[in-house]
Amino acid sequence: MSNIIKLLPDSVANQIAAGEVIQRPASAVKELLENAIDAGSTSVDLIIKDAGKTLIQVIDNGAGMSAIDARMSFERHATSKISKADDLFAIRTMGFRGEALASIAAIAQVEIKTRPHEDELGTCLKIEGSTLMSQESCQCPAGTNIMVKNLFFNVPARRNFLKSNTAETRHIIEEFIRISVIHPDISFSMVHNGKLVFKLISGGFKSRIIGLFGKAYDQRLLPVEQKTDMLTIHGFIGKPEYAKKTRGEQYLFVNGRFIKHAYLHHAIVNAFKELIPSDAYPTYFLNIQIDPQEIDINIHPTKTEVNFRDIQYVYAVMLAAVKQSIGKHNVTPTIDFTVDPSLEAMLAQRPEGEIKQPTITIDPDYNPFKTKSTVRGQTGTFSRSSAQEWQKVFTGDIPGREEKDETFPQGEEQPETEDSQGSFYLLHSKYILTGVRSGLMIIDLQKAHARILYEQFLEQLTGKEKPSQQQLFPHNLHFSPGDAEIIRSLKDDLVKLGFVIETLGKNGFVINGIPADLLETDVEAVLEKIIENHKQHAKDLDYDKNIILARSMAVNASIKPGIRLSQMEMADIFNRLFACKVPEIAPDGSRIVTIIGLTDIEKLMKM
Ligand SMILES: Nc1ncnc2c1ncn2[C@@H]1O[C@H](COP(=O)(O)OP(=O)(O)OP(=O)(O)O)[C@@H](O)[C@H]1O
Ligand SMILES: [Mg+2]
């Protein structure tokens, strides 16, 4: 058989190699901007035409190149940034492969004018499809001015695969943001088809974000600052209430290089858990400064992926840093809960006999969700609800909240009539509806109760609140040896939650008392859920036993569908919900409360 393997001609080999580095105009923009940064520029201008398909030009005031370097820079694997294998683990520049310019020159018509600051004359060089067309000395400003024309002119198939100008421009803007946002000390501009898109003066990180994303971001950002022996995390996160339903404002950098890292993204999102709905994405701009020896950046042709030597450590620091930033600024969602009396009157459902006058005596230990008698909580926000307190809800004076409803004069006694109290309507045994000043508030009953219980259980677990208990006719339970071990390890916590629990033989337990909020019939299911959640999450890096326990308990003990509630019981839920730290979000991260604005209601009525 004759030999069939042949070496590809250089032109074809170059195009194939270029395909890895340059997939679309935005990739060329990225490479050229990175080169300008590596050259130590303090000012970088990007000019594009027709979404980069006709022209991509980058003008910098960096180091410039000598005539020989200018020619060399277009050779494959020609770089000034590394010279030996070890250097790959000491990379402090954006580039290191010596491939970008060679790739661009293989698939476009390139003109470059470049001059080192110390030289009087610069070099002007033209290359088309890897072929040198001309090279001569020329007058030009210090720095480098590179024009990439007609990208993919010799690869029609690639050119045909490009998306619409709008889509390609979006990609370019994204690359421009990724690079400019993390280099606030450098001035940047971007002009598209003669129009100025961005003009960014040098300044701090925050003002750069504002320059790119708008003034509104001034109020939306929280600083993040964390320093350990191994790394520094610095940047900003968006306040939880500004989390968006669409991805896109997640910017993670390692030593000033934008990277994609699903695991670290998870750490950041985890820190926002329970503060944002599960389908929302937090905004972040975070830079990890780390010794290059601790990372490997040479794992992907576009240099947007990084391997960390100790990713578990970086994850833990990232999680802690973001959590701390959220905590320090004491962020809790704000909500409009001042009541509009006319609307609430309209919405009130008042079947005969259901409304009680606030003068009635109320049993403070009353548990609205149990038919059996219980010995409810001795202390704490949750057991304090009383007629007086829930009335305040409708005068805007909500416990733990500072907002006041100006429509109700404070200090003046409210007439104790039905109309001055909050009115609630229970929709399909699932949602509580009530009028608030800005519209109609809808509360998911089961989730609201889960949130109330969750915070109550957390307080009990941290010893801040004593458990309330109900006595039980002893229940004997048996578990597998592994599960019994888990129950034994959680015994002290279960006691804090209100369980009276004793061991019985090797893998058995006697339950003599349970938390007041739990139904007797749910005991076994709750313990099984606790075991299951414990097994599932114990390996998580951010495993927090108290959170898992409180969540398992809250979800199981919360109101079941089909319940009927009186006005007072609904007011009690409302009152206790808004005394919570995070009243808007359920323990599983989903939304509890929503408000349909008056204008939206008006619009609906006009349809
Ligand atoms: N704007 C510029 N100013 C000064 N020198 C430049 C500029 N652009 C490129 N160079 C020089 O040309 C060389 C080749 O650039 P090229 O982008 O091809 O490779 P690189 O940046 O070294 O690595 P990578 O392929 O990872 O980008 C660089 O190492 C640098 O010395
Ligand atoms: Mg480069």
Q: Which fold has domain 341-448+562-606?
A: formyl-coa transferase, domain 3 (3.30.1540)
Q: Tell the residue nearest (CA) to atom 8 of ligand 1.
A: 35
Sequence-distant (≥ 6) Cβ neighbours of residue 174 within 8 angstroms: 26
**What is the distance in A from the centroid of ligand 2 to the CA of 357?**
76
Q: Residue 129 corresponds to which tokens in the numbers above?
A: 């499809």
Give Cα separations from 524 to 314, 513, 520, 556 (angstroms).
Answer: 39, 13, 9, 11
| H helices, E strands: number in the chain | 19, 22
Q: What is the pLDDT of residue 422?
A: 66
pLDDT in tens, 358-414: 333 334 443 434 433 333 333 233 333 333 333 333 333 333 333 333 332 333 332
Are both 207-328 and 463-557 of the same fold? no
Report percent pLDDT > 70 for the chain.
84
pLDDT in tens, 147-179: 999 999 998 888 888 988 988 998 999 999 999
3-class DSSP state of 425: strand
Closest ligand 1 atom, residue 74 Cα: 18
Q: What is the pLDDT of residue 406?
A: 31
Among 8-12, 137-141, 542-546, name the most confident range. Answer: 137-141
pLDDT in tens, 223-258: 999 999 999 999 999 998 888 877 779 999 999 999
Considering every ligand atom shown, identify the ligand nearest to the alpha carbon of residue 76 and give its number: 1
- Nearest to residue 591, comparing CAs of 599, 603, 583? 583
Question: How large is the average pLDDT for residues 527-541?
Answer: 78
Considering every ligand atom shown, identify the ligand nearest to the alpha carbon of residue 104 and give its number: 1
Q: Which residue ranges have their beta carbon within 6 Å of ligand 1?
A: 31, 35-36, 38-39, 60, 62-65, 73, 78-81, 95-102, 144
Give the integer Cα–Cα distance in Å for 226 and 220: 20
Where is average pLDDT lowest: 36-45, 283-292, 336-345?
336-345
Q: Residue 450 corresponds to which tokens in the numbers above?
A: 């889960």
Give the integer Cα–Cα distance in Å for 392 and 388: 7
pLDDT in tens, 37-58: 999 999 999 999 999 999 999 9
Q: Where are the domains positioned within the chain? A: 10-203, 207-328, 341-448+562-606, 463-557
pLDDT in tens, 104-146: 999 999 999 999 999 999 999 999 999 999 999 999 999 999 9
Is the domain covering 463-557 a CATH 3.90.1150.10 domain?
no
Give the integer Cα–Cα distance in Å for 186 and 46: 13
Q: What is the pLDDT of residue 301?
A: 79
3-class DSSP state of 198: strand
- Which residues are 462's β-sheet partners? none
**What is the distance in A from the centroid of ligand 2 to the CA of 463?**
58
Give the integer Cα–Cα distance in Å for 221 and 210: 10
Closest ligand 1 atom, residue 99 Cα: 25
Helix boundaries (H) for 329-379: 341-347
Q: Tell the residue nearest (CA) to atom 7 of ligand 1.
A: 35
| pLDDT tier for residue 83 given thresholds of 50, 70 and 90 | confident
Q: Which fold has domain 10-203?
A: Heat Shock Protein 90 (3.30.565)
Q: Tell the residue nearest (CA) to atom 12 of ligand 1.
A: 73
Question: How large is the average pLDDT for residues 429-456?
Answer: 90
Q: Which fold has domain 207-328?
A: Ribosomal Protein S5; domain 2 (3.30.230)
Give the integer Cα–Cα distance in Å for 113 and 345: 75
Considering every ligand atom shown, identify the ligand nearest to the alpha carbon of residue 64 and give its number: 1
Pairwise pLDDT comparison (405 vs 555), residue with the higher score: 555
Given ligand 1 and candidates 97, 101, 110, which is best to mutate, with the most ligand atoms within 8 Å of its CB? Answer: 101
Give Cα separations from 338 to 441, 560, 602 (angstroms).
Answer: 10, 28, 20
Average pLDDT for the chain: 81
Q: Residue 111 corresponds to which tokens in the numbers above?
A: 């003109």
Which pairs with CB-CB distance under 8 Å and at least 24 residues apart come from 511-515? Answer: 511/472, 511/474, 511/475, 511/476, 511/477, 512/471, 512/472, 512/474, 513/469, 513/470, 513/471, 513/472, 514/469, 514/470, 514/472, 515/457, 515/467, 515/468, 515/469, 515/470, 515/553, 515/557
Q: What is the pLDDT of residue 528?
A: 85
